[in-house]
């Protein structure tokens, strides 16, 4: 390794090339590390491609430190769009939320008050104002209160990952897609030495970053590390439209809707997610999502269901991210979190800095991996 104040590992294996892995690897590569991206599938085509992909902190108020991390994530996206260009991945069009029952409405209005106290921008409109100013295709009562979060956005995750990986590969990173990790070799002192892949190859590496999303617990097990994960599946449907009738992400009653950057719309609902273990066919979930969306955007009634996917969200057992070094395995780092779309760029920057300099950022203090004892 090179001398000086910044440690430069000879080789870093980033396992999992979703938005978090791509962000970590791109930041490492930019600062001179030799990076190998490893993914059992193709970059950005796992959970990253089947997410509601909403960049926000308004839904992250349960813990102030988590809210602050997500605010930093939003800022990192804006900075990234300025650095690599927004192209076909960055859509900073704000976010709308409203409800159709008094309890839910009271809860989100209370949250809005809390957020305003934390200097987070939120605006209030009536349903009639929203239709005239933002979204003429919506059906909603004229007098319903609607929150608008102007600093929020949505992201085309697969396009963002493609940009980050291409940039890293252009500066000498290597991509091994279609390759699962079979083994992680360690030395006599327990430190990382190599990774073995499903194609039979073995790579000598100094560092492993576990960004394997839903498979992160399995990868951790390869270094005798226990990373408990929560099972929380979600279903997302894409609807093809001749013309996309909505312009931004929104949480409407019973359904989440956003444009998808082409001639399609993405649909998701926590209420439908709750039905996943009932054994219903994924096509039935898509029909339920489509039906809910039609009540909010009648024009979607003429559209057709294009694709539906059920994926497991990558959530550590206590619900919070696991990001940073695991002291019991020198050279092994975790980058595992729900809300990867919001957090990818900031986790990428902070973890790359930690790997190269050894310095831990205060933003991650509540989300260190050592809270899960090995």
| pLDDT in the model for residue 325 | 97
- Asked whether residue 221 is domain-assigned, the answer is yes
Count of domains observed in the chain: 3
- Asked whether residue 330 is domain-assigned, the answer is yes
| pLDDT in the model for residue 262 | 85
At a CB cut-off of 8 Å and minimum separation 6, what does 288 contact?
A: 269, 272, 275
Q: Verify that 109 and 211 share a domain, yes or no.
A: no
Across all residues in the chain, what is the average pLDDT? 95
**What does the DSSP assignment read for 205-268?**
-SEEEE--GGGHHHHHHTTT----EE--EEEEEEEE-SS----SEEEETTEEEEE-SSSEEEEE
Separation of alpha carbons 300 and 236, rounded Å: 16
Q: Verify that 133 and 265 share a domain, yes or no.
A: no
- Asked whether residue 180 is domain-assigned, the answer is yes
- Asked whether residue 226 is domain-assigned, the answer is yes
pLDDT band at 229 (very low <50, low <70, confident <90, very high): very high
Residue 38 has pLDDT above 90, yes or no: yes
- Which domain CATH number covers 162? 3.50.50.60
pLDDT band at 247 (very low <50, low <70, confident <90, very high): very high
Model pLDDT for residues 325-360, shown as the tens digit of each residue? 999 999 999 999 999 999 999 999 999 999 999 999
Its domain, for residue 125, covers 95-150
Q: Verify that 209 and 349 share a domain, yes or no.
A: yes
- Asked whether residue 289 is domain-assigned, the answer is yes
**Structure-token match 């057709």, residue found:** 304
Residue 205 has pLDDT above 50, yes or no: yes
Q: Verify that 135 and 165 share a domain, yes or no.
A: no
Q: Verify that 130 and 276 share a domain, yes or no.
A: no
**Structure-token match 């599946």, residue found:** 233
Tell me which of 358 and 5 has the higher pLDDT. 358
Q: Verify that 209 and 239 share a domain, yes or no.
A: no
Separation of alpha carbons 149 and 152, rounded Å: 6
| pLDDT in the model for residue 278 | 75
Q: Verify that 224 and 244 share a domain, yes or no.
A: no
- Asked whether residue 252 is domain-assigned, the answer is yes
The residues pairing with 35 across neighbouring beta strands, listed in sequence order, are 12
- Asked whether residue 78 is domain-assigned, the answer is no
Residue 6 has pLDDT above 60, yes or no: no
Average the pLDDT over 255-267 and give the result: 95
CB 259 within 8 A of CB 153: no
Model pLDDT for residues 110-153, shown as the tens digit of each residue? 999 999 999 999 999 999 999 999 999 999 999 999 999 999 99
Residue 156 has pLDDT above 50, yes or no: yes
Residue 328, token pair as written in the block:
């019991």
Average the pLDDT over 269-287 and give the result: 90
């Amino acid at each position: 390794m090179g001398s000086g104040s910044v440690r430069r590992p000879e080789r870093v294996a980033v396992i999992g090339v979703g938005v978090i892995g791509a962000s970590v690897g791109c930041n490492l590569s930019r600062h001179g590390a030799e990076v190998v991206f490893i993914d059992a599938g193709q970059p950005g085509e796992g959970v990253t491609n089947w997410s509601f992909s909403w960049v926000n902190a308004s839904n992250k108020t349960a813990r102030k430190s988590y809210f602050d991390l997500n605010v930093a994530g939003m800022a990192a996206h804006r900075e990234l769009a300025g650095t690599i260009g927004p192209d076909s991945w960055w859509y900073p069009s704000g976010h709308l939320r409203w409800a159709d029952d008094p309890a839910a409405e009271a809860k989100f209005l209370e949250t809005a008050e809390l957020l305003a106290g934390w200097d987070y921008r939120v605006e209030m409109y009536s349903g009639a104002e929203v239709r005239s100013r933002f979204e003429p295709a919506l059906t909603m009562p004229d007098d319903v209160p609607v929150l608008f979060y102007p600093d929020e956005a949505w992201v085309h995750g697969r396009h963002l990952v493609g940009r980050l990986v291409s940039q890293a590969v252009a500066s000498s990173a290597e991509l091994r897609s279609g390759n699962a990790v079979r083994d992680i070799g360690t030395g006599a002192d327990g430190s990382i030495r190599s990774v073995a892949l499903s194609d039979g190859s073995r790579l000598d590496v100094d560092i492993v970053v576990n960004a394997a999303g839903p498979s992160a617990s399995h990868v951790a097990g390869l270094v005798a590390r226990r990373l408990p994960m929560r099972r929380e599946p979600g279903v997302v449907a894409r609807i093809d439209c001749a013309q996309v009738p909505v312009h931004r992400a929104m949480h409407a009653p019973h359904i989440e809707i956003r444009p998808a950057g082409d001639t399609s719309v993405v649909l998701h609902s926590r209420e439908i997610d709750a039905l996943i273990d009932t054994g219903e066919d994924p096509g039935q979930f898509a029909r339920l999502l489509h039906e809910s969306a039609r009540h909010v955007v009648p024009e979607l009634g003429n559209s057709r269901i294009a694709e539906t996917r059920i994926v497991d969200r990558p959530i550590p057992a206590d619900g919070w991210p696991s990001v940073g070094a695991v002291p019991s395995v020198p050279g092994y780092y975790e980058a595992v979190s729900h809300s990867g779309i919001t957090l990818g760029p900031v986790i990428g920057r902070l973890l790359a800095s930690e790997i190269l300099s050894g310095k831990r950022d205060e933003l991650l203090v509540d989300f260190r991996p050592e809270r899960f004892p090995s």
